[in-house]
Amino acid sequence: MLEFSAQQIAMMIQGEVEGDASVTVNNFGKIEEATSGQISFLANPKYEAFLYTTAASIIIIGAQQQLKQKIKATLIRVPDAYAAFATLLTKYQELKTQQLVGIQTPSFIAPSAKIGTNHFIAAFAYINEGATLGDHVKIFPNVVIGENVSIGNHVTIHPGVVIYADCIIGNHVTIHSGTIIGSDGFGFAPKEDGSFQKVPQLGNVIIEDDVEIGANTTIDRATIGSTIIRKGVKLDNQIQIAHNVEVGSNSVIAAQAGVSGSTKIGKNVMVGGQAGFAGHIAIADGIKIAGRTGVTKSFTTENTTLTGYPAADQKQSLRSQVYVKNLPELEKRVQELEILVQQLSQKA
């Protein structure tokens, strides 16, 4: 277990110590549950009461936070407590993974595979012919690296990940358990007898730098060319990315979303959970797509918000919802008018 003093932590997150700078911690805790020897943080005002009752040894708080009572814990003041705590967690995780070095057995590494320095390859990993791994790559159990796969530096691949042949993984990439990269795209040509002929999928998948991919996500290889996940993209768990899709840099997609083949998603796009995309469409930069939205066509206006099925501009969609809600009352009024017209017609 790693142990740090308040002074060391303050240096990591560029904060100022208020209290005993020599006090040490070796774990993290929620402010309402933390015990002695743990570090916590306060970012949400709803939890301010726990600031005065927590047993945490160190607390990260905002520089402007006013204290209403005396506090036993050592404080580290920073401009943004949440961001600072996230930075600390990241550094802690990096330090833990840096301790993992070497090759465990049994594992298989093909003779033609090339592996950089400071690597870790866990037992039961399989690295195929022609694979290339950069420096500081961490491969956990039951990972399969296919033929001619290229993996950059500072990459972490968690248990059970499979990367098919010829795929390319950039630097500072994290891939979580159960994810499949480079499986065949869903390509089948209908035949006259009603059956389907498989279309060979000859392309690959390219994952650029600083990408994180959640657990049990599937990214299909291109039919021809590449399926591309651009720099800085963050993908949640259980996402389906089909063949020849391109996801623009710094876009984020939440769980259970599905993107059909050859769709192009722009930069800085935000996609809610369970959203679905038709194939061969384009989404402009900066668009926000609400959860469970069905995107059936291209949207070319940047920085708009889409919702509903089929997807529409949020304001238009909200108006439509109001109209739908009022349909029963409108139907009743139409029926009353029809009766009135019929009565007037009989009198005439």
Q: What are the pLDDT digits (tens) for 217-240? A: 999 999 999 999 999 999 999 999
pLDDT band per the 50, 70, 90 thresholds, residue 341: confident
The rounded mean pLDDT for the chain is 94
User: DSSP states of 86-118 as a string?
Assistant: HHHHHHHHHHHHHT--EE-SS-EE-TT-EE-SS
- Residue 2 clears pLDDT 80, i.e. is over it: no
Percent of the chain topping pLDDT 90: 83
> At the topology level of CATH, where does 102-313 sit?
UDP N-Acetylglucosamine Acyltransferase; domain 1 (2.160.10)
9 φ/ψ angles, rounded to the nearest 5 degrees: -65, -40
- So what's the pLDDT on residue 19? 94
- Residue 149 clears pLDDT 80, i.e. is over it: yes
CA angle in degrees (0–180, nearest 5) for 311-316-322: 105
Q: Is the pTM of this model over 0.85?
A: no
Place of tokens 């809610």: 272
The 10s digit of each residue's pLDDT in 193-206 is 999 999 999 999 99
Assign 11 to helix, strand or coil: helix
pLDDT band per the 50, 70, 90 thresholds, residue 306: very high
User: DSSP states of 204-219 as a string?
Assistant: EEEE-TT-EE-TT-EE
Asked if 15 and 25 touch (Cβ cutoff 8 Å), the reply is no
- Give the relative orientation of helices 6-13 and 81-98 as an angle to the nearest 10 degrees: 110
Q: What is the DSSP letter of 317?
A: H
* Mean pLDDT computed over 178-201: 96
- Residue 248 clears pLDDT 90, i.e. is over it: yes
Which range has the worst mean pLDDT, 81-95, 104-118, 147-161, 283-297?
81-95
- So what's the pLDDT on residue 84? 95
Active site residues: 243
- Residue 324 clears pLDDT 80, i.e. is over it: no
pLDDT band per the 50, 70, 90 thresholds, residue 111: very high
- So what's the pLDDT on residue 44? 92
- So what's the pLDDT on residue 94? 80
As a CATH number, domain 4-98 is 3.40.1390.10
Percent of the chain topping pLDDT 70: 98
- So what's the pLDDT on residue 348? 64
- CA-CA distance, 96 to 99, in Å (whole number)? 6
By residue count, the chain amounts to 348
- CA-CA distance, 174 to 206, in Å (whole number)? 14
- So what's the pLDDT on residue 263? 98
Tokens describing residue 23: 């006090």
Residue ranges covered by each domain of the chain: 4-98, 102-313
More confident residue, 175 or 91: 175
